[in-house]
Structure 1
Amino acid sequence: MTFLLFSFLLCLRGAFSYILYKNFISKKVVKIDGFVANQYKKKNYYVLKIKSKNLTFYTINRDDLKNLLNEDVSVKIFTKHISFKNYLFGFFAPSFDLKLKEPSKIEKYVENQHKNIKITNLYKALYFGKSIDFSTRKDLSTLGISHLFALSGLHLGFLSAILFFMLNPVYKFFQSRFFPYRNRYFDLGIFILTTEFLYLYFTNFPSSLVRAFVMETVIFISLIYLEKEPLSVLIWTFLISVLIFFEKVFSIGYFLSFMGVYYIFLFFKYFKPTFVNSLILSFYMYLVMFILGHYFFYNFNFYSFFSPVVNILFSVFYPVSIFLHLTGFGGLFDKVLQWYLNMGEKNYYVNVDFWILLFFLSLSFFAYYRKWAFYGINLFALIVILIKI
């Protein structure tokens, strides 16, 4: 019955997307507001990748453009020859009347605290879901910390933790005196999710953050309210994500974030959530995500072995950096960040074969039911790392 209901809802979701597509192409010219996610020169013209709330597309411009990365723009595009498939997954469209839009005051406030454009873009990616230039993305990938500067469930998790530890003692004080019958975790959860939704609105609903928010909402309802086991929670999260995001679920980013959550659940299935184990978790995640990450991304150098430590330090850096930017001292860590990024300039090619990935994913599935398989994925990942480097 559940399968039939899901299939029916999926068909409705597909039909809704197709109606949106037909409405989109019914106009020969469409004006789109978005931001420039990538820009590079090719012969005598520039290629621009533009992201809006609902669309991602490429276009070209023959003007002598300045660096428009992360700039808010409006552009008019011709919709002829855009297929339904390309509408869903990204398309190319001729365009004209490209116009720069005034950035928000908060973005200007952050920009004015930094002199280096690369560092500025790092913070804009961290806070507003903006893009990072190719060179910096490569350095981050080489160092194994790309996930830290791409808005995702990690950052929502930090935001949730910060809000919870700030509000929990205050709530307990009033609960003990005025409403002892209330479920503290449920009430705080609702407040935190509401705050995170406002953050999504503030950042213009970046797709990676919206997907993470949906995942967090489903996990909250299932674990706190319905008390479902973690594996069924993840399955329902995926199914609901398919209904909401449709084609966007089938992306590398979503796959890696989904598997990341799975491995975290897997870890705490066999280890209690203590402070020491939370530190061990960072090293464990580096180990199990190495195979997945290096199947898709090949850059590597030996400084990436320090990424588990950097992950731990990031839990302090992230809230501190927010506070520093709010008080006008956001540039305090700029030299340290630039020094660390420079370490990623030298890189090596490390590629994981498909059969290794397939075997690892299969063993990962059995690891949820058998403890020997859990230890097996860690040992197998370690062997792969030693062989590949």
Structure 2
Amino acid sequence: MDSLQLLSDKKDFFALFLLILFVLSTNLIFEYFKYSKIKQEEIYEDSFRIINIYNKKDYYVLKLKNDDLTFFTSINKKLKVEKLDYINIAFITLQVDFFTFLKGFYAKSIYVEKEKKEDDFKKILYEKIVSQHKQIELKQLFSALFLAVPISKEYRDIYTGLSISHLIAISGFHLSILTAIIYALIFYPYKIIQEKYFLYRNRKMDIMFISTIVLFFYLLLTDMVPSLLRSFVMFVFAIIFLRSNIKLLSYKTLLITCLFIISLYPQYIFSISLWFSLSGVFYIFLYLQYFKSLPVLINIVFFNFWIYFAFNPIIHFFFFDTSYEQLFSPILTLIFSIFYPFELFLHLINYGNLLDNYLMYLLNFSLDIKQYETSLYFFAVYILFSLLSIFGKKYFIILNILLMIFSINMFI
């Protein structure tokens, strides 16, 4: 039986548009109430969690977050703080407008005090992870991999130079591995219970529902990191669509996911990680549209290489670091599908440092970094033909010519 289309006529599109517009408007009103709250006084004081620490010469720049807002400020290095600590801070609100409030702003702090709070579940997990490593690079690597704790800029450049930042930022790739692990752990215990007490239940759907609940709590644990939120929303849509026999792998699904996330969290429209995540899925869909008939063994290898080269013009519009070692990125991506669950298991049994020496060799590898930037003109043309490729093969051929020209100029 053929799959149904998600949106079959103009009425469906219009109804969806109104729904998304209503949700977006409602959330923008809520955000404005939050903004009004901090603008009531010139000096606003509250408790915040430290999301990231940027080390400057004479001070720290902190990225802070609570339920109401996210912002940046500077503090004296005399105050000893770590990621995920809580601080009580007062800052000046005069320069904050609603646009910068949504985007994330910098404010000058006039009072900072570290709070003594009992460690919550995330902080306990964080301490368990970092305690298994001696090197700061690995502490940051695995806290980012498992808890989406941001990596400091000086260490993030390592992964940019190797072009493996997409492996560090938790997204659909990680979610699919976690889903497979959760599903496998639940399957046989649930099978025994189900066959004994409720044979009439759909076992696969029940396990997927349980997996969704577990993944939702994991999403909360990561503070709704945008790339993972995109993956989770598409995962939920996938279950609903499969259950309803609606076509899953479609550009409409991706567009609805994008609009749904932005309507719920308007501030994520400024999130580069969200747009990277959505773009990555878009090029995966393009690949499947034109290359899915290739033999399986060829697809396993060619898929990662094509996605890497197709995504390069997007990446280098924002980040310019380039090295010949980046050509190994598709291979490292293949290896990562084994490395990630293996390291997760090692950290659970407290042997997370088992491969540290090998990882430090990789991270300390001397890279010959040069700068290569995607021009605005090429970026606009590339995006245009990426979108046109949905509608015709001739546009897809031009897109591949563009990415080949870009890659040759980039590496030669």
1:310 paired residue number: 332
1:280 paired residue number: 302
- Which deviates further from its counterpart, 109-118 or 261-270? 261-270
Instruction: Please give the per-residue CA displacement for 1:292-319, whole angstroms capped at 9, x wherever unaligned.
Output: 1111110011111011010010000000
Aligned length: 387
1:290 maps to 2:312: yes
TM-score (norm 2): 0.85
| Corresponding residue to 1:11 among 19, 25, 31 | 25
The 2-side partners of 1:76 and 1:10 are apart by: 30
Q: Secondary structure at the match of 2:354?
A: helix
The 1-side partners of 2:366 and 2:399 are apart by: 28
- Which deviates further from its counterpart, 216-225 or 150-159? 216-225
Deviation of the 1:344 alpha carbon:
5.8
2:280 paired residue number: 260
Question: Does the C-alpha gap of structure 1 residues 54 and 307 become closer, same or farther in structure 2, counting only changes over 3 Å?
Answer: farther
Deviation of the 1:202 alpha carbon:
3.2
1:137 maps to 2:156: yes
Tell me the percent identity. Answer: 31
Question: Does the C-alpha gap of structure 1 residues 345 and 65 become closer, same or farther in structure 2, counting only changes over 3 Å?
Answer: farther
* Pairing 1:192-207 to 2, within 5 Å after superposition: 192-207=211-226
Contact 1:363 1:377 in 2 (8 A): yes
Contact 2:230 2:258 in 1 (8 A): no
Question: Does the C-alpha gap of structure 1 residues 324 and 348 become closer, same or farther in structure 2, counting only changes over 3 Å?
Answer: same
Q: Secondary structure at the match of 2:359?
A: helix
Contact 1:37 1:51 in 2 (8 A): no
- In structure 2, runs of 5+ residues without a counterpart are 1-13
1:111 maps to 2:111: no
Deviation of the 1:22 alpha carbon:
1.4
The 2-side partners of 1:187 and 1:379 are apart by: 46
2:56 paired residue number: 41
1:338 maps to 2:360: yes
Contact 1:113 1:331 in 2 (8 A): yes
Instruction: Please give the per-residue CA displacement for 1:39-87, whole angstroms capped at 9, x wherever unaligned.
Output: 2225x44332223455321112234245x45242222223531221221
| Corresponding residue to 1:32 among 19, 42, 47 | 47
The 2-side partners of 1:296 and 1:129 are apart by: 21
1:87 paired residue number: 101
* Pairing 1:1-389 to 2, within 5 Å after superposition: 1-2=14-15, 3-26=17-40, 28-42=43-57, 44-66=58-80, 68=81, 70-78=83-91, 80-81=93-94, 82-95=96-109, 96-99=111-114, 104-167=123-186, 182-225=201-244, 227-229=246-248, 230-270=250-290, 271=292, 275-276=296-297, 277-343=299-365, 345-389=367-411
TM-score (norm 1): 0.89
Deviation of the 1:250 alpha carbon:
3.2
The 1-side partners of 2:349 and 2:61 are apart by: 38
Question: Does the C-alpha gap of structure 1 residues 30 and 224 become closer, same or farther in structure 2, counting only changes over 3 Å?
Answer: farther
The 1-side partners of 2:295 and 2:238 are apart by: 20
